[in-house]
Chain A
Amino acid sequence: MIAYALRRLLIQLPILLVFSFVMYLVLFHAADPKARLQQIPGARAEDIQRIIEQQGLDKTWYEGYWGWLGDFVQGDWGASFSNKAVGAATLIWDRLPATLELMLVSLLLSILIAAPIGIYSALRRYTPFDYATTAFSYIGFAMPTFLLGLLLQMFAIWSQQNGWAVIPFTIGLILVLATVTTLLKPQRSSRGIAITAGVGFVLIWMSLAFWGSFGGDGQLIFKTAGRFTDAANGSMFSVDHLQHLALPVITLAVVNIAAWSRYQRSATIDVLSADYLRTARAKGLPERTVIGRHALRNALLPLITIVAIDIGFAFSGAVVTETVFGWPGIGRLLYDAALDGDITVAMGVIMLGAFMIVVFNLIADLAYAIADPRIRLA
């Protein structure tokens, strides 16, 4: 298996090389740092000329690419144009923990929510629960990330004005709306619908009764920007940090949950009609064992691949989410580098992402081979 992994990685190296070349060409022609220098007010022509020579901005694309490739292979990934003190590698490594924290927390949350939703809606197909989660998936998947981010920020400001009561109020509202979506389909009345709607109304009523009693004194319950209130001394394990983490994590998780729960649902439905489940029932096993032992193991296999590949994408950062929430990760670094025409930094982030996608594609294959006894890698 190790030999297989090494071989796979070696095969990918030329692809990464070609990819880096193409990306460099695109960035080289899209970004024009020289033009930005001209815009600096009061800059003298000879100073500009001096900076251009110092930074090597007058190089042709092939000189530039060759130089960048040398720096990249040696490990410092080239000097940043906009932040001369440090190399691109340092900038990226400094930002990476923030991105990884955000991405991994949201991935974990997504799995923990999406898999049970998908399995349960497959087992209870065409029930109100299934219709409600289907509706949620369509909305969650169709909603652009920046819009969801902005809506959550509006929610945060609303909570700033009215206190903690807005949270149960919103949950209640979602529950009531969820029952409404199920009423679009004609069906027998269900106790589940009644209970859900009832809980929703009680939550709304309770929160209205205590509206503004808890909080609502101008403090943000959910912080809308940054990673810590005090960036220099912030602790990973503080409430303040959780308050910062909540909204960007939700933003990223919603799309994942929407997609993965649908995926898990169809994978489970596939398994439910399998012959071996009929065999298991014919043995007289209780339904709990039939589902828990025979169905779920098979139904969860496909999700392994999806999740492993998505972890690879986590290393490229979430450009939109990090930008909306001012999250100091590599996604926003890439966004800033692209605006500044900082080719080395942009290339660094892109290549890190590309490499990790390659690695985690491989890990996805290896994980699948471990989980599914039928697959042997050669």
Chain B
Amino acid sequence: MSAQPLLQVRDLRVRFATMDGQVQAVDGVDLDLAAGETLGVVGESGSGKTVTALSLLRLIPSPPGRIAGGSILLDGRDLLALPDVDMRKVRGNEIAMIFQDPMTAMNPVLRIGRQLTEPLVNHQGMSRGQARARAAELMGLVGLADAARRLDDFPHQFSGGQRQRLMIAMALACNPKVLIADEPTTALDVTISAQILELMQDLQREFQSGIIIITHDLGVVARTADRVAVMYAGRVVEQGDVETIFARPSHPYTWSLLDSLPRLDGARGERLVPIPGSPPSLINKPSGCPFHPRCRVRREVCTSVQPPLVEVGAGHLAACVIGRDEAAAERERLAAAHADAA
């Protein structure tokens, strides 16, 4: 990791006030992102991935949401301390975001040209004509043919994959330093989603943006990310290089997740091991490690002490009392036991 990362998130905490009490949606998240790097953020629904992403742009709906603490440093500047006017200059300009559902993320009654040129006119002070020319260029860049004519079309005249390309064009309009993609392929079918991921990688090489790709799909992470952060119950439980995370996962949640997925290179007739139980309530979190009620290798201490994220290898962090080698042994033992039971 370089000395001064592009984006540095420290101890981020986000709370939502609900009728049933305070929801700790994000509870002390640390993330780093270098220029030109792709960080995959993985976790199940409700683990705080999207809330973390929205916090980076300070787009948490408030009320009920509130960023309760921490810092978000972009090139050393704390975004949480910026006045609203300056924060607006960051959005879409230095940090841009691609949303999950391209069908609803675009305004249905405004022409594509208008929606594509908005950030250009807004941030770069371009005239309408300049912005239109640039918008047509961007459309070509994301692989949409006949751009000049289609600028006057409405979103519903594009297919889902085309719309996600448009969203990417919109996000890249001002050549942002950080691009956040929140489940960019979830709403698309498999072939289109592969094309979109490829497009994002190509454009990253060209623009040298740092990309944060948020997903629940480990396959997407494996093919795109340089580093991975695994989130559980509003916390990062493991972080490391993509090879390390897949080859030598340390946190029981991470390797339980991997063991619950089918693999093309797995042994024939291999049985999948589900994770028992369901994600914890974020209002009344379990004491100690939030994963302990579902953990099959939990220790006595796990019910009372929440382990911090510590280095278990080079650039590899995990929040578990069990060390990396011990975890690997436990994983093997459990897999063998499961195979015997079957």
Known: A275-B104, A374-B156. A283 touches B110 (CB 8 A): no
Min distance, Cβ B303 to any Cβ of chain A, angstroms: 39
Query: For B167, what are the chain A residues with a Cβ–Cβ distance below 8 Å?
Result: 279
Question: Complex formed: what's the CA distance from A293 to B111 in Å?
Answer: 12
Question: Complex formed: what's the CA distance from A293 to B107 in Å?
Answer: 10
Whether A281 is near chain B, meaning CB under 8 Å from some CB there, is yes
CB atoms of B154 and A281 under 8 A apart: no
Known: A282-B91, A283-B91, A286-B88. A298 touches B109 (CB 8 A): yes
Whether A278 is near chain B, meaning CB under 8 Å from some CB there, is yes
Q: Which of B75-116 contact A (CB under 8 A)?
A: 88-93, 96-97, 99, 101, 104-110
Number of A interface residues in the complex (CB < 8 A): 22
Interface-side segment among B118-126, B134-142, B210-218: B118-126
Known: A275-B101, A278-B59. A284 touches B91 (CB 8 A): yes
Whether A241 is near chain B, meaning CB under 8 Å from some CB there, is no
Question: Complex formed: what's the CA distance from A274 to B107 in Å?
Answer: 9
Number of B interface residues in the complex (CB < 8 A): 27
Query: For B108, what are the chain A residues with a Cβ–Cβ distance below 8 Å?
Result: 276, 298, 372-374
CB atoms of A372 and B59 under 8 A apart: no
CB atoms of B91 and A297 under 8 A apart: no
Known: A284-B122, A374-B154. A279 touches B105 (CB 8 A): yes
CB atoms of B107 and A298 under 8 A apart: yes
Whether A242 is near chain B, meaning CB under 8 Å from some CB there, is no
Query: For A289, what are the chain B residues with a Cβ–Cβ distance below 8 Å?
Result: 122
CB-CB nearest in chain A for B156 = A374
Min distance, Cβ B109 to any Cβ of chain A, angstroms: 5
CB atoms of B106 and A279 under 8 A apart: yes
Whether B57 is near chain A, meaning CB under 8 Å from some CB there, is yes
CB atoms of B99 and A283 under 8 A apart: no
Query: For B91, what are the chain A residues with a Cβ–Cβ distance below 8 Å?
Result: 281-284
In this complex, the member of A275, A286, A298, A301 whose beta carbon has the largest number of chain B beta carbons within 10 angstroms is A275
B97: which of A274, A282, A298 is its contact (CB, 8 Å)?
A282
Question: Complex formed: what's the CA distance from A262 to B288 in Å?
Answer: 49
Min distance, Cβ A342 to any Cβ of chain B, angstroms: 49
Question: Complex formed: what's the CA distance from A289 to B170 in Å?
Answer: 17
Query: For A294, what are the chain B residues with a Cβ–Cβ distance below 8 Å?
Result: 107, 110
Min distance, Cβ B104 to any Cβ of chain A, angstroms: 4
CB atoms of B109 and A372 under 8 A apart: yes
CB-CB nearest in chain A for B97 = A282
CB atoms of A284 and B107 under 8 A apart: no
Whether A307 is near chain B, meaning CB under 8 Å from some CB there, is no
CB atoms of B123 and A284 under 8 A apart: yes
Whether A91 is near chain B, meaning CB under 8 Å from some CB there, is no
Question: Complex formed: what's the CA distance from A26 to B123 in Å?
Answer: 68
Query: For B57, what are the chain A residues with a Cβ–Cβ distance below 8 Å?
Result: 281-282
A283: which of B104, B156, B170 is its contact (CB, 8 Å)?
B170
Question: Complex formed: what's the CA distance from A372 to B105 in Å?
Answer: 17
In this complex, the member of B101, B108, B154 whose beta carbon has the largest number of chain A beta carbons within 10 angstroms is B108
A280: which of B89, B101, B107 is its contact (CB, 8 Å)?
B107
Min distance, Cβ A15 to any Cβ of chain B, angstroms: 32
Whether A285 is near chain B, meaning CB under 8 Å from some CB there, is yes
Question: Complex formed: what's the CA distance from A284 to B86 in Å?
Answer: 10
Question: Complex formed: what's the CA distance from A286 to B170 in Å?
Answer: 17
Q: Fill in one digit per residue for A335-372: 1 if any B CB lies within 8 Å of its CB, else 0.
A: 00000000000000000000000000000000000011
Min distance, Cβ A169 to any Cβ of chain B, angstroms: 39
B59: which of A281, A285, A373 is its contact (CB, 8 Å)?
A281
Known: A294-B110, A373-B154. A275 touches B99 (CB 8 A): yes
Identify the A interface with B (CB < 8 A).
Answer: 274-276, 278-286, 289, 293-294, 297-298, 301, 371-374
Given contacts A285-B88, A373-B108, 20 further A-B contacts (CB under 8 A): A276-B106, A276-B108, A278-B99, A279-B99, A279-B106, A280-B118, A282-B57, A282-B59, A282-B92, A282-B96, A283-B118, A284-B91, A284-B93, A284-B122, A285-B92, A285-B118, A294-B107, A298-B107, A371-B109, A373-B109
Q: Give 20 pairs: A residue, B residue, CB < 8 Å, sorted on A.
A: A275-B101, A278-B105, A279-B105, A279-B106, A279-B167, A282-B91, A282-B92, A282-B97, A284-B119, A285-B88, A285-B92, A285-B118, A286-B88, A289-B122, A297-B107, A297-B110, A372-B108, A373-B109, A373-B154, A374-B109
Q: Which 10 A-B pairs have the closest CB atoms?
A: A284-B91, A283-B92, A284-B92, A275-B104, A276-B107, A373-B154, A282-B97, A283-B119, A275-B105, A284-B88
